[in-house]
Structure 1
Amino acid sequence: MLSTLSRKMLMCLTGLFLGFFLLIHFLGNLQLFLPQEQAHLQFNAYSHFLSGNIIIKTVSYILYASILLHAVDGLVITLRNKKSGARYQTDRRGRASSWASRNMGILGTFILIFLVIHFQNFWYIYKFGNPPLDENGNKDLYILVVNVFKEWWYVIIYVLSMIALCYHLVHGIHSAVRTLGLYHPKFVKWFKTVGIAYSIIICAGFALMPVYVFFTYQ
């Protein structure tokens, strides 16, 4: 069995990978803000390229494994801490967010539930369903995204999930800095500031996407 330190290191590495993937996913999805006709064809072409690229496919398998490992590892650590009466990754040197650190298990569970819904609505239908084709012959993921984002209840779930993700990232990045041994007076404030800015920009950007589509396509 893995030691607590090994599990924290695994949490750190998978978390950093997932955090970096969010940036790539975010940059690709920014195409949703383009003019509708341009966004339609360009977003579908981008999705088609990703689905047919062997390197991207390999990275996607790493992504799936990282999500599972991160979730399972987080559950194990949370249960162990509850059993021992300790708070999640308690550290006397300070925490990025005391509320987030106390509720990482709840935040992680909420995000995991959102991911299941998200994968089912987009990834599963795109891979195994029969979505229509656009005028270039690509699977029309854009129309699928638009139709889902036109549902007010999904927009609310999406925005709330991004808020949870933001808190999760803020504490996660701060915790990763400690786990990697980078907690030094010369760097900790810089890492903390960058981590907070990164979390807010990524999550706010993602949250704006369904809101933008919802009000644009009414």
Structure 2
Amino acid sequence: MSEIKQTFNSSLGKKLIMALTGLFLCTFIIVHLGGNLLLFSNDNGFGFNVYANFLTHFAPIEVIAYILYLSIVVHAVYALIITVKNRKSRPVGYAIQPKSDATWSSKNMGLLGSILLLFIVIHMGDFWFRYHNDKQMGFKEYRTDLATGKTTESVYTPVSEDFNHSVSVENNVEIVRVKDLHARVVFSFSHLWYVVFYVIAMGALSFHLLHGFQSAFRTLGWVHRKYTPIVYAIGTWFFAVIIPLGFAAMPVYYYFVVKG
């Protein structure tokens, strides 16, 4: 047990934890983006609200969510520990900086991580915390004619304060009643400062993933002449370009299209 503790307290052990939690978070953002793309469905928030309800009422997902929160905390704490240790090991900078092959993103992972941590706190406070604790959050009722597939929506007022959601079928009409998180999305993305901050945070995410994804594989020793270029391509084009652009497109779309 002491050997395991000693391993994870070593520099290599800390980097290993960073790599594992980082790759887990990479997996999460893929799933998260997939669900959030429902915001582009043009269905008055039906798909997104049902998705949000599923995430908060399906037990296995809730367990994974707590693992996610723990991973974020551990990843941030160990990043801070490694950054502080690296600075202490060289408290006085060089009079002439030696030439380095390190990329800008690798040199500024602390700054990028700090921006992302601030974004996560604000983002979760605005959506996750409000969804679970805001008693003023409204509800929507969606009625879908099962014969035609046509869906209509209206405001729903629960008869009980304990009401969360319901699904029923009456006269061949499916009735879904859920919290209207979509309304919060519309409200938040109607503020220019929030949209700008969101886009900046996604820029930070892009550079963070550009270095972090590739670095995680190197830390784990998964380096091979044949497969490393594939890892670099995935890290660059998928994680550092496509995913951040997908997230950044949402607030921009809602501010300029939905709001207008």
| TM-score (norm: length of structure 1) | 0.92
Q: Is 2:115 the partner of 1:75? A: no
When residues 59 and 39 of structure 1 are mapped into structure 2, their CA distance, relative to the original with a 3 A threshold, is farther
1:183 CA drift (Å)? 2.2
Q: Which residue of 1 aligns with 2:94?
A: none
Structure 1 Cα separation of the partners of residues 253 and 185 of structure 2: 12
**Could you say which residue in structure 2 is the equivalent of 1:149?**
189
SS in 2 for 1:183: coil
Instruction: Please give the per-residue CA displacement for 1:162-199, whole angstroms capped at 9, x wherever unaligned.
Output: 00001001100110110111222222222111111122
SS at match of 1:138: strand
State yes or no: 1:17 paired with 2:24: yes
Q: Could you report, residue by residue, the CA deviation over 1:93-148 in whole angstroms, capped at 9, with x for unpaired residues?
A: x65xx101100001001100011110111011001112100113211000101110
Larger Rg: 2
- For residues 209 and 189 of structure 2, the distance between their equivalents in structure 1, rounded to whole angstroms, comes to 24
- Give the Å deviation of 1:39: 4.6
| Alpha carbons 1:33, 1:39 under 8 Å: kept | no
Cα distance in structure 1, aligned partners of 2:109 and 2:214: 13
**Aligned equivalent of 1:183, options 223, 228, 241:** 223
Q: Is the 8 A contact 1:151 1:214 kept in 2?
A: yes
Instruction: Name the SS for the 1:137 alignment partner.
Output: strand
5+ residue gaps, structure 2 = 1-5, 92-100, 142-175
SS of alignment partner, residue 178 of structure 2: coil
Unaligned 5+ residue runs, structure 1?
87-93
2:170 is equivalent to residue 165 of structure 1 = no
The structure in which a higher percent of residues are strand is 2
Tell me which amino acid in the other structure corresponds to 1:118: H
> Number of paired residues?
208
Shift of 1:74: 0.2
Q: Matched residues in 2 for 1:85 and 1:190: separation?
A: 35
Output aligned runs, 1:111-122, within 5 Å: 111-122=116-127
More helix as a share of residues? 1
Matches within 5 A, 1:106-145: 106-130=111-135, 131-135=137-141, 136-145=176-185
Question: Matches of 2:17 and 2:82 in 1, distance apart?
Answer: 11
Q: Please give the secondary structure, in 1, of the residue aligned with 2:224.
A: coil
1:43 equivalent among 28, 48, 58: 48
Which one scores higher on RCO, CA 8 angstroms, separation ≥ 6? 1
Q: What corresponds to 1:213 in structure 2?
A: 254
Q: Which residue of 2 aligns with 1:102?
A: 107
